C-alpha cells in the first residue's frame, strides 16, 4: 500500500484496524511493525481511541515513541450518549500535553448519536495550533460540505480528508485534500486514481473509477448489518491473497455468506 502511486501515508490503529479491541501493547506493536516496513517518507498517522483521557494520553505517547508522524484522536464512544465542549477540549489537551506530534481531529458520522462535533466545538478545536487535519467522517454529503467550508474559512491550512467510502467522488468534487478511508486498504490504486482524476478535471475517468469503486463500497459498508464492515474488509484482503487469516475479535462478527458478494464486487472493481 505504501508504495502505491498517490498514497502518501497510512492510518493505522483506526476503527477498521479494530483499535477498540486491541491491548495497549498490541497497539504499540502495530506502530512499530508498520514503521519498520514502510518507506521512510511514508507518513504514518496513528489512531488514539480510549474512553479515558489519561489512557488516550498514554496511547498517544506510545505511538510517538514508536515512530508515528501524527495522531488521529477519536472521540470516546461514550460521547455518543452525551458530551460537552469542555470534555472535548480537555480530552485533546491531555493528548497534546503528552506528545509533540500534529493532531488530526475525527468528525464522527451524523448517525453516531451525539458523537459528532458541533460547529461551535469544531471552532474551539481548530483554535489549537497543533491541529493540522480532520478526518471528515460525517458520512453525509451536506454535513461534509458544511464542515469543509467552515474549517477552510477559518483555518485554510488544515487538511480536510474525505472519509465517506461510499461518496468519495462527491467529497472530492466539493473539495478535499485527499482521503483517509479503509477501502484504500483493499483498492488503493482506485482510491488514489479517483482523487487524481478529479484534481485534473478528468471527469469521464473519474466517473468510470467511481463505477468500479461504488459497488464494492456498498458490499462492504452499506449491506446490512453495517457493523460487519471490518470483517468484510479482512475478507476482501484474504480473497486477494494479502492476508492468510481474516479472523476478527469479538464482539465483531464475520458471516460466511458475505464471501460470494465480496468476490463479485472485487472482480468488477479490479
Per DSSP, the residues of 206-244 read: HHHHHHHHHHHHIIIIISSSGGGHHHHHHHHHHHTTS-S
Confidence at residue 128, expressed as pLDDT on a 0 to 100 scale: 98
State the DSSP string of 156-195.
Answer: TTSEEEE--GGGHHHHHHH--S-B--GGGGT-HHHHHHHH
Q: What is the pLDDT of residue 180?
A: 95
Place of cell 469542555: 86
Spatial distance between the Cα atoms of 86 and 256, rounded to a whole number of angstroms: 44
Does any domain span residue 145? Answer: yes
Domain hosting 40: range is 9-185
Asked whether residue 153 falls in the same domain as residue 238, the answer is: no
Contacts 24+ apart (CB under 8 A), 249-253: 249/18, 249/21, 250/21, 252/18, 252/21, 252/227, 252/228, 253/227, 253/228
**In contact, 48 and 12? CB cutoff 8 Å:** no
Considering the domain architecture, whether residues 176 and 245 belong to the same structural domain is answered as no
* Angle, alpha carbons 88-90-95 (nearest 5°): 100
The 3-state DSSP class for residue 126 equals coil
100's grid cell: 509533540
Domain count, the chain: 2
Could you tell me if residue 1 is inside a domain?
no
C-alpha span between 61 and 142 (Å, rounded): 35
One domain, residues 214 and 130: no
Spatial contact of 180 and 155, defined as CB atoms under 8 Å apart: no
Q: What is the C-alpha end-to-end distance of the chain, expressed in Å?
A: 16
Is 192 inside any structural domain? no
Last residue of a domain, one of 185, 218, 240: 185
pLDDT means over runs of 10, the chain (270 residues)? 94 96 98 96 97 98 98 97 97 98 97 96 98 97 97 98 93 95 97 96 97 96 93 98 96 95 97
Residues 161 and 213 in one domain: no
Q: Indicate whether 29 belongs to any domain.
A: yes
Query: In terms of residues, how long is the chain?
Result: 270
Burial of 208-242, coded b for 16+ CB within 10 Å and e otherwise, reads ebbebbbebbebbbeeeeeebbbbbbbbbbbbeee
Q: Among residues 185, 211, 231, which one ends one of the domains?
A: 185
**Per the domain annotation, does 111 fall within a domain?**
yes
Residue 64 cell numbers, joined = 510517538
The contacts of residue 194 (CB under 8 Å, 6+ apart) are 168, 169, 172, 206, 209, 210, 213
How far are the Cα atoms of 34, 93, 124, 173, 179 from residue 83, in angstroms, in the given order?
33, 16, 14, 32, 27
Q: For position 49, which CATH number holds? A: 3.20.20.70
Amino acid at each position: 500500500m505504501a508504495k502505491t502511486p498517490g498514497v502518501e501515508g497510512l492510518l493505522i490503529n483506526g476503527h477498521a484496524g479494530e483499535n477498540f479491541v486491541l491491548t495497549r501493547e498490541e497497539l504499540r506493536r502495530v506502530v512499530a511493525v508498520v514503521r519498520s516496513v514502510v518507506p521512510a517518507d511514508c507518513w504514518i498517522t496513528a489512531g488514539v481511541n480510549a474512553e479515558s483521557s489519561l489512557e488516550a494520553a498514554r496511547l498517544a505517547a506510545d505511538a510517538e515513541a514508536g515512530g508515528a508522524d501524527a495522531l488521529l484522536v477519536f472521540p470516546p464512544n461514550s460521547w455518543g450518549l452525551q458530551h460537552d465542549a469542555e470534555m472535548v477540549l480537555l480530552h485533546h489537551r491531555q493528548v497534546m500535553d503528552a506528545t509533540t506530534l500534529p493532531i488530526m481531529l475525527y468528525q464522527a458520522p451524523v448517525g453516531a448519536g451525539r458523537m459528532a462535533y458541533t460547529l461551535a466545538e469544531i471552532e474551539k478545536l481548530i483554535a489549537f495550533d497543533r491541529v493540522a487535519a480532520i478526518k471528515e467522517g460525517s458520512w453525509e454529503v451536506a454535513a461534509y460540505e458544511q464542515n469543509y467550508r467552515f474549517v477552510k474559512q477559518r483555518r485554510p491550512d488544515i487538511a480536510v480528508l474525505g472519509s465517506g467510502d461510499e461518496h468519495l467522488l462527491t467529497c472530492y468534487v466539493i473539495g478535499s485534500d485527499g482521503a483517509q478511508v479503509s477501502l484504500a486498504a483493499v483498492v488503493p490504486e482506485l482510491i488514489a486514481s479517483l482523487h487524481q482524476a478529479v484534481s485534473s478535471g478528468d471527469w469521464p475517468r473519474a466517473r468510470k473509477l467511481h463505477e468500479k469503486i461504488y459497488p464494492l463500497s456498498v458490499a462492504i459498508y452499506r449491506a446490512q448489518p453495517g457493523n460487519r464492515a471490518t470483517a468484510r474488509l479482512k475478507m476482501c484482503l484474504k480473497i486477494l491473497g494479502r492476508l492468510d487469516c481474516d479472523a476478527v475479535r469479538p464482539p465483531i462478527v464475520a458471516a460466511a455468506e458475505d464471501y460470494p458478494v465480496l468476490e463479485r464486487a472485487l472482480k468488477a472493481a479490479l
